[in-house]
Structure 1
């Protein structure tokens, strides 16, 4: 259990195990069988040395076990959202408050011009998407839009075609959570999300420890789904994370084992860990083409050679995904 949870450290450093049991002799015995063989193979990739240990206080072991056992039920994540629209486009502010009371702030600008109600829906959808990205399963959305909150709850009838599309998309996205709800709050209680929405009017693409700001060219209800690529550079990494399956080629297998600690697989999406920053979403070659096309055609009005640029970004000369 320790080796799996601390895998990046076990791969990078020699390990000394203090134990009164003759684990060292058992692990290297030629006649081990059954479950011991599986443990020996799994731990064989690490540089582990077994040494006898002195007495340890029982309370220290108890405290360690309590820390390692996950909570029975995840606490609720609170998400405050606000959206607005003007001549420059749709502006969205999202404030995520974690169960430990930490804050994640997002400011989003969407180029197409929409109504204020559509902007409020975009804010709710952005909040749900952000909650999915951070792995939350129980969330409460707080919005100061009475119309959007009541339509989602079923208190107001929805007749407008666009509002129906937003409502269906919201229902589909919310279905991915174990438990979720939306509450209407007074505008004065939603000041932080409102300030982020105002800030989004003049933002450029940036990510800091306090606020993540970005732009999007397409509305949620009009987004095209990039073509699915059955196999990509991510496939062997995901296969090893989920099934511990390695390529038959020994060189490739060794390379993946060295790289895998840099990645994490959440909600069927592969992310790369960044140094003191957010998780970076990994893209397949088809998805890179789609993103580059949206950026360059939306901003520059022209089509650039996406394939060459995507290879430079994701397959550098040094080898391996970056």
Structure 2
């Protein structure tokens, strides 16, 4: 049996045995013929991991779930904690995605102090975050989603071998023939379709930054073009994620940034605003929203789910409910209630409805 007691006195000088499981370790050591204390800090006893295996720090079998907590440093990744748990009973029959989510649950429970103190990045190619954010998720996934809500957990796809990568180039042509060229270098090994999507996203973001309101995209990838236009269906989860991000960016380009844009970016891609206070607010309130096929919904109190709208759509809804076929020229508060019952929401809804009712010509002419 080997126990690593590196820097224990420094971690807790008043306690000779600061490990929370020291009693269990001593009990496990009883009966052993030899107890070896190794200086793990010196590194002479360590077997180095191959660079191409660094990203494979979490693995699962049919009956075992193992995971490693690593810390990113300038020199690379430093393992902090290793946990392995045998799956019991029904757990062995979970789907791969459920087993991966269960591994995160085990990690959060076992390493709670780390999860509370730091931002934890889960490296996985499985869409755990998207499944947990679905409005129709039920059973154990709901319980796990509630557990994760108290931590700052981010999900990223597994990387490839460091030093390898791909590149692409984009050309943005303005209405006056002005050309803007940009070269892209990816820190990961990407497929041809990934490169096409990355170039498309970079081009859309560049056009948005230059103030473009309309955009014509030309690509030599028939698959990517067909998926964006709706001719082809994105079956691969990674291509589906790319497609949703492109659709969100195109929608934002067409309608401009609205109050929904930060929530869409965070729920779909984990991107928060650069300003810390605004990012904290968006992250806190995002639990009330969900994204389905690029459409943002809000969990209501009197209604299960409300469709989020903005801009001219808000005016159209108020007009239809106030003076449309079923309209009765009600007051502002009643109009806001009708908007909610119709299944729509935007943050300034109540103020806008009061202002709309006050400015209604018919209401002013026939008011008592």
Q: TM-score scaled by structure 2?
A: 0.27
Higher RCO structure (Cα 8 Å, ≥6 apart): 1
TM-score using structure 1 length:
0.30
Q: Which has the larger radius of gyration?
A: 2
